[in-house]
Structure formats: C-alpha cells, structure tokens
Amino acid sequence: MTLKSLHAIKSALSKTEKQLEILSTGIFEDGSLPTFSEKIKSSNQFPIRPKKIEILQLNVGYMCNQVCAHCHVDAGPDRKEIMTVETMQQCLDVIKNTGVHTLDLTGGAPEMNPNFRWFVEEASKLGVQDFIVRSNLTIILANKKYHDLPEFFAKHNIHVISSLPFYKREKTDKQRGDGVFDKSIKALQMLNDVGYGKPDSNLKLDLVYNPSGAFLPTDQKTLEKDFKKALKEDFDIDFHSLFAITNLPISRFLDYLIASDNYEDYMYALVEAFNPDAVANVMCTNTISVSYDGWLYDCDFNQMLGLKVASKENHISMFNEKSLTNRTILISQHCYGCTAGAGSSCQGAVA
C-alpha cells in the first residue's frame, strides 16, 4: 500500500469519526429536537430488531467513474477499495447456505470491480430470486470494455436499478456532473434495445430519484408518473418503477448541508416528517450490508459511518444467520432519513 493510499484512508477515517460525532451527540446542543432513539421510544418501537434476513447487499468497491454531489459512499475515480475474490467467495457461500433470496450489488460503480463479471456469473448459478446491480448508467459508455453490459445483464437476468436524478438535463448534470444526463439517456436506450424496461419484459429496469438539494422527495407515485411521461415523450425510453430515496445526512451530503447552512433546517424537516409507520419496514430489518472488505453492517449508511452490526460474528467469514437475526439494530440521527414521509430504502418508499 502506498503512502498516498494510507493518507487517503486516514483522512476518510477522520472524516467518518467527525460525522459520527455530529450525528451521535444529538441534533442540536440545546436539545431542541429529540434524538432518533427518543422518537421511536415514544411510539414503543425501540429497539429496532430484524425480522428475517432476506437481502444481502454487497458494496464491491468505492471506485466510480463519477463524483456525485450527494454520494453517501464518497465514491470516485481515486477510491481504490475493492472487494477481493476471496471475500466474494465467502459471500457466495453465505448465499448457498442461508435464507437470503435477494442479492444486491452496489458501489461506487460495481462494474469497475475487476472480478465483477466472474462474480455475476457464479452468483447467477445459485438461483437467487432477485439479482440486483445498481448501475450509474454512464459506466456503460465510460470505456469500450463496458459497452456490452446491457447484453451481459440480460444474459444473466440481472435486475438493473439505475440512478437518474431528474428527467431534465440541468438538474441531473448539476448533481452528477456535466454530460451525465446525455450519457444516462443513451445508456437507458441501450438497455431498452435489449429488452430492459419494456412493459411486457421480464428484464427489470428501475430508476432511482434523489432530491438535488436540502429537501425531501415528493410522492413516489407522482414522480414515477412524471418521469415515465417525460422520458417516453422526449426520448422514447421505458422503465418499470421509480424509487424515491431521501438523502441521508452523512458523507458528502452532510458536508453540503453544513457548508450551505442547511443542516438545522434539513434535520427539522426530517423530524417533522417522521412517520412511525415507516419504522417497521426500514431496510435494516431484512437486509445485511457487506463492505468491500467483508465487514457486516445493518445498512449501507451505517457502513459509511463505520457502525458494524451488534454481533461478535460481524464479518462475512463468520456469518451466523441466527445471531444476526437476534441482534439489535444500531441507530443514530441519520435514521430519521429512512422514516420521513413515506419512508425511504434502497427499494424506495416503505410506508
């Protein structure tokens, strides 16, 4: 490992510790808003415990061809953290021997892991009910070696979930960088060409919407209707569902909130929109998040804050389904983001 890499890791750890301190000490020093623990205690929902482990979400690396303003993973081209074949094999072993029925690959851009295709081919043999790859779309056009990804996805019946901040160029490029919208549209058309997203197709193509600023997403069904109408009329693009995801106050988005003096207002908005009905269905109740180096977390947001699962068997090599099902889920102030309004998860609204 180079000296530059060590400095980068130390800097990332320092940033994580600072953000966790901001979140764990309450919302404001004067105690003007309740902590998340206090909030769910008031509705008799503390502590949060798992129901059944159904989804294994793997972050196969933080490397990405984009540097998005809201990215909670802090991903980018300079990130070198990559899941190894050894860790991937341990994940495959868990899928074989447990009740996990959904495999969810994320990043960064998961396709940039050098062993991505090998893993997809091996995992496809295991017959999971839903095999998800979360693609940023532009990776398909980033290099010739990625141009056949739509065909590769179709061959293995991959459920593609793709990020598209908005159906207009200005908002998308503001959040993700100049030229991202046009490349995303081209990638969606390429996916449509092989059968993805068509009304009668089994090749599932869903989109993810994240607000571009310090506000909560509007109604998911209304957004989906607007996206479908605009993308069909303007670009003849079809897709199946839209997932509206609230931006959680961690990583780059927390940095943005603090730098723009929006942190207090945003946290007030999350707390005021708290929905007790969303608590029972937050993604941590049926999901285990696995980091690139194999550590286990309640969700990918906790992963970014270094909050490993509350179990002695907290690495993929020690995966114990019974122990993990009986654990208490770790929470902090960012959890308000998953319980605001209709709730938010990697599959969109939960209530």
Domains of the chain: 50-255+281-329 (3.20.20.70)
Distance CA 331, CA 283 (A): 12
Say which residue, 165 or 197, is predicted with more confidence: 197
Stated pTM of the model: 0.92
For 127-193, give the secondary structure using H, E and C.
CCCEEEEEECCCHHHHCHHHCCHHHHHHHCCCEEEEECCCCCHHHHHHHHCCCHHHHHHHHHHHHHH
**In this structure, which amino acid lies at residue 120?**
V
Reported as a pLDDT band with limits 50, 70 and 90, residue 8 is very low
DSSP string of 59-74, one letter each residue: E-BSB-S---TT-TT-
Task: Yes or no: say if 102 and 159 are a contact pair by the CB < 8 Å rule.
Answer: no
Mean pLDDT computed over every residue of the chain: 92
At 55-104, the pLDDT tens digits run 999 999 999 999 987 788 999 999 999 999 999 999 999 999 999 999 99
Across 3-7, 273-277, 314-318, least confident range: 3-7
At 207-239, the pLDDT tens digits run 999 898 899 999 999 999 999 999 999 999 999
> Which pLDDT belongs to residue 326?
96
Distance CA 178, CA 167 (A): 15
Look at strands 102-106 and 296-297 and give their pairing.
unpaired
Tokens read off for 55: 């989804």
At 253-282, the pLDDT tens digits run 999 999 999 999 999 999 999 999 999 999
> Which pLDDT belongs to residue 3?
41
> Which pLDDT belongs to residue 325?
96
**In this structure, which amino acid lies at residue 230?**
A
